[in-house]
Structure 1
Amino acid sequence: MIQGIFFARFLPQQGTKVVHQSPPGCIVPEPDVDRPRLFDFDLLSEYIIPRQAFCNRYVTICDPDCKYRILGHPVCIKDEKYERNEFMFNFCIVINADDDKIPYEAVVRRLASTFTEMEIQNQFLSLEDYSNSQDRRSIAALLEIIKEDLNNYNECMIPVDDANTINMKLFPIHPHPPPVKSWHVPISKIKFSEIIDDTWDLTMKKVISQIDGIKDVRRIAHDADVALDLTKIALQHLLYYDSVIMLDLFLFGNVYAPTPDVNDFIEDRDGMQDECANYVYINGPRLPNFYLCRLFTSLCTSRTVKEWLKLHIDQGFPVLNYVDVRRFIQFGVIKGLIYRVHKYTVSAQYLAGLVNGERKEWREWRTGEGMGRFADGCHCFDQICVERNIGDAKIMDQLWKFPKGDVEIIYR
């Protein structure tokens, strides 16, 4: 949200002066306007129109109270027609100090470049007081429209005169998403069927059609008949726009454990228990929410999902008759109620080789059937399952072929 916008210029006799501002009185006092100023302009005036070394570049300033941030791009135009052979001005935007300033940088740069060109063409800024033309908008009116349009619509298109138009748009800046791995499972957050159309990229459409919350990235690439690298790029775009989330492979040999946030579920904060029940219950009568709390709190680091199921079945609660276990686990992970405990394998022989500087290729080893390159403590079992297309039990069988006492399994 833009709190204020103003146009300042350097006057040889008066120094730096705010010529126009919106809303009125937000930067410097105006007659008949009773409005508190956003900050003390006199304290920051030397940074609004700085020395020439800082001109013609993007500048950000915080007020002394760190409440507001001023974004500007001071411009210095050198020409003999001006007094002192130069004309200096700045169009500044004021936002809250906590707001993200990155989307506004392009707007400030565009204001500086647009008005610089207009000043060079017909001295739009320097001769403002002497112009009586009815064919152009005033700078004060332009500032008001720019602020209102950007705040309300995130864009503006304003005709200034017969030859110039101000076109600007605020683009949201999302953080760069983490890399997509072949063993990740994408889950859609929106209904793609309602927004997809014929103009979408063909690769993206093929990838989206395979997202079902069960298939991993490699399986999606195979079923969509798309190269794995292109599939990852497509999913990276969906991650960037927060259209999908990435979870781990769901296997009954996985291990999960509660996080401290499970207390929010037990206290039913924001109706989380009913939300979970609507997502995970499949058959039979609706069970009390107590059973969901019991299921979450009974997960632990020493128990696989399969063992967790057997525990409840032995206690007389047939979980599979009422609960979709995959959706139950996914709900807990998405909400941060539980976390995945990954398994890694570490070979003492491999680590000793690294310490000694040996570069032996693991595929030459007879032990482990090529598992050596995964025995460095950096490859989880999910990655091994997907890249070698084998199950958890098969991985353990191959690890038993290493020398006795050489391999350790780490849970973290």
Structure 2
Amino acid sequence: MSIKCIFYSYFDADKGPRVLYQVPENSVTPSSDTPSQPPSLFLFDEISDYIIPKQQLCDRLITFCRNRYRLLGYPTCLEDDKYDRNEFIFNFVIVLDESEEFSSYKPVVKKLARLFKALEEQTGFLWNEVTRSSVYTLIEQVMEDLNSYCECMIPINESNTINLKLFPVIPPPAPIKAYHVPISTVRFESIMDSNWDLTMQRIIPYIDGVNSVRRIAELADADYTLTKKCVSELLYYGCIIIVDVFRFANIYAVNSDLANFVNDTVLHEECQGYISSNGRLLDFPTILELYTSLRQGLSVVEWSLENAERLKDVDVRRFIQFGIIKGFLYRVQKYPVRIDDGSGVVVPLSSQPVAGLGSSASLTGLVTGPPMLDAAGSLAAAKTGKSVTTGVSGGLMVDRSLPLLRYLDGAHHFDSICTDLQQSEKEVLKNLAAYPIEIIDR
């Protein structure tokens, strides 16, 4: 992200709108009739109505695109009988690539305009030919410092300074789901005090890398909606990351980002120390073999049995979550889909959206907490990768009052269903036996 050009423009009573100073030089050509080199960015005549607009459009942010560049300005109008036509309109314009994120430049443009407006009102800084001659040097320094350091502090005179800073725009976090598991990336005890939100203080002790958001609300005896808002706030400020619920019935596989893990020796050492259950470090070739042996159709419990000897010094949960956090391991989710509602109508799978946790490639941070085993989740593991049809079996007690039908649309995986209904996967599968379904792996 960088500024391509900054220029100062004003309205001349005889010549109309004109560019007085520009950095770099020749970035803006006055007109197509100018017998000089072709314009680097654009012709000023083509955009002058937006740079020096009518008085009604002054004192507000104006942004527009031209020739694949975005221009941000804050045209300012001062009224005084000392000026020609009793008014003075000027504008400091910042030029970026059209594709650049420009939100952080809006306050910079506004502050720059208001600073020079105050200088003009106090000392006639821009109207006076002597003092305004320093404008070129000032905007040159502004551009260089913002591009290099994202901030600047440039003295104008004894009592005025250009003090600007580009603040990064953080996008809002993804919606928090009941089955999401927050993992701390900071030590809360070192930053939390008595002024923190009461709900936040109640839920912090239960953020251990194991408990889901729903479970945290229950353990903290806190309102679930408020708990989600607190977790979202922690995610926004980078205090936590989000992973899925770990069960030994889960299925994981590596992706192409494994190459980054293989080539990063720092990650090798981090992984060795992190996954150890007793202080004994596993050699990296063995770690790599274990990760590559994870595959679709193989649950963690089956994989653990196959590699029991090599995993004796390994915390399996931390081993899996390290791969998820670093982005080279992904979760294969299971989605129950109703295939017949009794009237012969089959639910189309291709038209159903998939609601999952999302990519884990951007997750970074530390995992804490003890391992957790949910053996009930392994019930359908043997069928992973294949469609499993269930129906009503003799003597099976089914709670038909459960609102299961709304989950059988191909958009809800078992993590979501189990968390919403507060049941284990075994209990959910038992109740799903009342419906003809397929379990689809994605």
Say whether the fold is shared (TM-score over 0.5).
yes
Give 1:327's aligned residue.
318
Aligned residue pairs total 380
Give 1:374's aligned residue.
407
Q: Against the structure 1 CA distance between its residues 156 and 197, is the aligned structure 2 distance closer, same or farther, given a 3 Å change threshold?
A: farther
- How far did 1:155 drift? 6.8
Alignment of 1:127 with 2:127, yes or no, is: yes
DSSP 3-state at the match of 1:209: helix
Alignment of 1:56-67 (within 5 A): 56=58, 57-60=60-63, 64=67, 66=68
Select which of 192, 195, 206 maps to 1:196: 192
Q: Distance in 2 between matches of 1:187 and 1:408?
A: 33
Q: Against the structure 1 CA distance between its residues 154 and 217, is the aligned structure 2 distance closer, same or farther, given a 3 Å change threshold?
A: farther
Compute the RMSD of aligned alpha carbons.
4.0
DSSP 3-state at the match of 2:176: coil
Alignment of 1:397 with 2:430, yes or no, is: yes
Q: Distance in 2 between matches of 1:253 and 1:74?
A: 62
Decide which moves more: 224-233 or 200-209: 200-209
Give 1:310's aligned residue.
305
DSSP 3-state at the match of 2:172: coil
1:224-254 deviation digits (Å, cap 9, x = unpaired): 3321111111111222223321110001111
1:158-183 deviation digits (Å, cap 9, x = unpaired): 79798x88775533211121100111
Select which of 229, 233, 236 maps to 1:237: 233
DSSP 3-state at the match of 2:182: strand
Alignment of 1:88-237 (within 5 A): 88-95=89-96, 99-116=100-117, 121=121, 124=124, 127-129=127-129, 143=139, 152=149, 154=151, 169-237=165-233
Give 2:391's aligned residue.
none
Alignment of 1:334-353 (within 5 A): 334-350=325-341
Give 1:47's aligned residue.
47
Which amino acid is the alignment partner of residue 298 of structure 1? S
Q: Against the structure 1 CA distance between its residues 20 and 207, is the aligned structure 2 distance closer, same or farther, given a 3 Å change threshold?
A: farther
Q: Against the structure 1 CA distance between its residues 352 and 144, is the aligned structure 2 distance closer, same or farther, given a 3 Å change threshold?
A: farther
Alignment of 1:411 with 2:441, yes or no, is: yes
1:181-217 deviation digits (Å, cap 9, x = unpaired): 1110011223333333444333333333322111111
Q: Distance in 2 between matches of 1:41 and 1:333?
A: 45
Alignment of 1:71 with 2:72, yes or no, is: yes
Select which of 247, 270, 291 maps to 1:275: 270
- How far did 1:392 drift? 1.5
Q: Against the structure 1 CA distance between its residues 20 and 297, is the aligned structure 2 distance closer, same or farther, given a 3 Å change threshold?
A: same
Decide which moves more: 222-231 or 43-52: 43-52
Which amino acid is the alignment partner of residue 283 of structure 1? N
Which amino acid is the alignment partner of residue 210 of structure 1? Y
- Write 1 or 2 for the structure with the bigger share of helix: 1
DSSP 3-state at the match of 2:208: coil
Please list every run of 5 or more consecutive structure 2 residues that lacks an aligned counterpart in the other structure.
30-36, 348-397
Q: Against the structure 1 CA distance between its residues 143 and 242, is the aligned structure 2 distance closer, same or farther, given a 3 Å change threshold?
A: same
DSSP 3-state at the match of 2:206: coil
Q: Distance in 2 between matches of 1:15 and 1:143?
A: 22
Q: Distance in 1 between matches of 2:165 and 2:195?
A: 23
DSSP 3-state at the match of 1:103: helix
- How far did 1:349 drift? 4.3
- How far did 1:72 drift? 1.5
Q: Against the structure 1 CA distance between its residues 282 and 268, is the aligned structure 2 distance closer, same or farther, given a 3 Å change threshold?
A: farther
Give 1:33's aligned residue.
none
1:22-69 deviation digits (Å, cap 9, x = unpaired): 68x58589xxxxxxx9x74772354255363694343446675x5x65
Give 1:34's aligned residue.
none
Which amino acid is the alignment partner of residue 432 of structure 2? L
Sequence identity percentage: 38
Q: Distance in 2 between matches of 1:109 and 1:3?
A: 18
Q: Against the structure 1 CA distance between its residues 408 and 49, is the aligned structure 2 distance closer, same or farther, given a 3 Å change threshold?
A: same
- Assess if the C-alpha contact under 8 Å between 2:399 and 2:431 holds in 1: no
Give 2:287's aligned residue.
292
Q: Distance in 2 between matches of 1:194 and 1:5?
A: 43
Q: Distance in 1 between matches of 2:42 and 2:327?
A: 49
Q: Distance in 1 between matches of 2:154 and 2:203?
A: 36
Q: Which has the higher contact order (CA 8 A, sep 6+)?
A: 2
DSSP 3-state at the match of 2:9: strand
Alignment of 1:243-262 (within 5 A): 243-262=239-258
1:346-400 deviation digits (Å, cap 9, x = unpaired): 22345969999xxxxxxxx963744333222222111222222221212111112
Q: Against the structure 1 CA distance between its residues 344 and 282, is the aligned structure 2 distance closer, same or farther, given a 3 Å change threshold?
A: same
Q: Against the structure 1 CA distance between its residues 268 and 352, is the aligned structure 2 distance closer, same or farther, given a 3 Å change threshold?
A: farther
1:276-335 deviation digits (Å, cap 9, x = unpaired): 21211223643321221121111122111111111223xxx241x211111111111122
Decide which moves more: 230-239 or 204-213: 204-213
Q: Distance in 2 between matches of 1:213 and 1:158?
A: 50
1:113-171 deviation digits (Å, cap 9, x = unpaired): 4545665x558356323889xxxx97567646755775647476979798x88775533
Q: Against the structure 1 CA distance between its residues 258 and 28, is the aligned structure 2 distance closer, same or farther, given a 3 Å change threshold?
A: closer
Q: Distance in 1 between matches of 2:57 and 2:403?
A: 61
- Assess if the C-alpha contact under 8 Å between 1:192 and 1:208 holds in 2: yes
Give 2:373's aligned residue.
none
